[in-house]
Amino acid sequence: MNNNAITIQEVAKSYKDFQIENFSLELPSGSIMGLIGENGAGKTTLIKLILNMIRKDSGTITVLGKDNEKELTAVKDDIGVVLDEPCIPEYLKTKEINKIMKNIFANWNENTFFDYLKKLKVPENKTFKEFSKGMKMKLGLTIALSHDPKLLILDEATNGLDPVMRDEVNDIFMEFTRNADRSILVSSHIVSDLDKICDYIAFMHEGKLLLCDEKDLLLEKYGVINCTKEELQKLDTSAIVGKKKTPYGINVLMERRNIPQGLKISAVDVEDLFVFMVKEN
Amino acid sequence: MGGVTIQLFIDTRSGQPIYLQIYTQLKENIINGTLKADEPLPSIRNLAKDLRISVITTKRAYDELEKDGFIYTITGKGCFVAGQDISLLQEETLKKIESHMLEIARLARSCELSYTDIIEMYGDVHYNYGGKRI
């Protein structure tokens, strides 16, 4: 077995007005990958493809060492999934949800479930209908974590949360991956969330993978320079990754090794990198 | 981790790579003797999770420390502080001081400070750093 939690090889899926083509991506075991893309970039489609909720046209996807079309049932208990909102009957309270989940997951752990609920301050005496968006998401996350998964897949899961809560969720992610055979794939368009905790960053744009690399390397590899029109013309155009014009100058994103000496380089964060790349494309 | 607690501060805004910040701080702790030979270091994964940074980052810091002979790894057990040749490290420090002094001499000449001016200035610095008044 290879050491990847998820391996996607040359996957294609086409719709009338949108396609994912020749898409390959690997999530090494034990790491957190942030899948970043603007709305409609294909993040959810990709996640659904991974979970075999929609069928791919071609290519292969392996999840926890199993082919996702033929053998996914074998590892389904090991995957925790949080899609935008959990589908739970509206009139249930957490106690009843616990009972149901006990019968669904072979390795459901009630203690974990109630511990997380307490930690995340999910109310026990309210029905699901009365939950706020944030509470629903927290419940979804709790359910995903309570059957001891090896792989956690979250689609825009932390979007409905306030900054303090997001921070707590990040803590939970860090705690979760303390164990080296647990991995997380988390998609978001809120880049600052992922900036901190991810080992790998993958940029998705219009169904394509723009890049995927170790986060630290990305930040070290690229830099932004501020230059004038004249200076811009002297730069090697093929080395320019992205640029932003203002009336007062031009910001250019380049690989640091291509930046001519003598120009002042400022550091980029993941968000800058993403915006620059998407705009240029 | 053994009986010693080390302090590590990560400044994500400083622009200095995080792995380098960890590298430098651990190295300082090893040279000044806070971390002693054969003492275990936190595991790569736990350190990453405690600091809330990427595992790859801490691994890189440890790799660099190992490459430079400050720590060693026992497979399956973790990383440990390597015994240091103190005299060698001191020599390295002396060289560093010498190069700083050359810089001082250069700057002093550029604004015509005398030998006694500089000695006087160093007396103040020495005192402020906790030394005796000279």
Domain ranges of chain A: 4-206, 221-280
- What are the two backbone dihedrals, phi and then psi, of residue A167, each rounded to the nearest 5 degrees? -60, -40
**CA dist A210 → A14, A220, A276 (Å):** 18, 17, 12
> Residue A14's pLDDT is what?
92
Q: What percent of chain A has pLDDT over 90?
A: 39
Task: Give the chain B residue nearest A173 (alpha carbons).
Answer: B49
- How far is the alpha carbon of B52 from chain A, nearest alpha carbon, in Å? 6
Q: What secondary structure letter does DSSP report for A259?
A: S
| Banded pLDDT at A40 (limits 50, 70, 90) | confident
ipTM here: 0.72
Q: What residues of B are in contact with residue A32 (Cβ under 8 Å)? A: 54
Domain ranges of chain B: 18-81, 86-128
Q: What residues of B are in contact with residue A167 (Cβ under 8 Å)? A: none
> Residue B32's pLDDT is what?
81
Is it true that domain A4-206 has CATH number 3.40.50.300? yes
| Banded pLDDT at A1 (limits 50, 70, 90) | very low
Segment (H or E) for B80: strand B78-81
> Residue B65's pLDDT is what?
94
Choosing among 1.25.40.10, 1.10.10.10, 3.40.50.12780, 1.20.1260.10, the CATH entry for B18-81 is 1.10.10.10
Q: What is the pLDDT of residues A208-230, one digit of tens each?
A: 998 899 888 888 888 888 888 88
> Residue B89's pLDDT is what?
76
Q: What is the pLDDT of residues A86-109, one digit of tens each?
A: 788 888 999 999 999 999 888 899
B90 touches chain A (CB under 8 A): no
> What SS3 state is found at A20?
strand
Which A residues, 196 through 255, put their C-beta within 8 Å of a C-beta on chain B? 196-199, 214-216, 219-220
Is B31 or A148 the better-scoring residue by pLDDT?
A148
Residues near B72 by Cβ (< 8 Å), separated by ≥ 6?
B66, B79, B80, B82
Mean pLDDT of A54-74: 90
Q: What residues of A are in contact with residue B54 (Cβ under 8 Å)? A: 31-32, 197-199, 214-216
Q: What is the pLDDT of residues A225-246, one digit of tens each?
A: 888 888 888 888 888 888 888 8
Contact between chains at A214 and B46 (C-beta distance less than 8 A)? no
- Average pLDDT of chain B is 87
- How far is the alpha carbon of B15 from chain A, nearest alpha carbon, in Å? 7
Q: What residues of B are in contact with residue A215 (Cβ under 8 Å)? A: 54, 56
| Banded pLDDT at A2 (limits 50, 70, 90) | low
AA letter at A241: V
| pLDDT of B2 strictly over 70 | no
Task: Give the chain B residue nearest A180 (alpha carbons).
Answer: B45
- Average pLDDT of chain A is 88
Task: Give the chain B residue nearest A201 (alpha carbons).
Answer: B54
Mean pLDDT of A253-278: 85
In chain A, which ranges are E strands? 4-14, 19-28, 32-36, 58-63, 66-67, 79-82, 151-155, 183-188, 200-205, 208-214, 222-227, 240-246, 249-255, 265-266
B54 touches chain A (CB under 8 A): yes
Contact between chains at B45 and A180 (C-beta distance less than 8 A)? yes
- How far is the alpha carbon of A122 from chain B, nearest alpha carbon, in Å? 24
> Residue B1's pLDDT is what?
46
Q: What is the pLDDT of residues A183-212, one digit of tens each?
A: 999 998 777 777 778 899 999 999 999 889
| pLDDT of A277 strictly over 80 | yes
Mean pLDDT of B46-59: 89
C-alpha B133/C-alpha B130 separation (Å) is 9
A71 touches chain B (CB under 8 A): no
Q: Compute the half-sphere exposure of residue A107: CA atoms within 13 Å on the CB side of its CA.
A: 13
Angle between helices B18-31 and B55-67 in degrees, nearest 10: 40
Q: What residues of B are in contact with residue A196 (Cβ under 8 Å)? A: 12, 52-53
To 5 degrees, how large is the angle CA A188–CA A190–CA A193? 95
Torsion of the alpha carbons at A265, A220, A183 and A2, rounded to the nearest 10: 140
Q: What residues of A are in contact with residue B17 (Cβ under 8 Å)? A: 216, 219-220
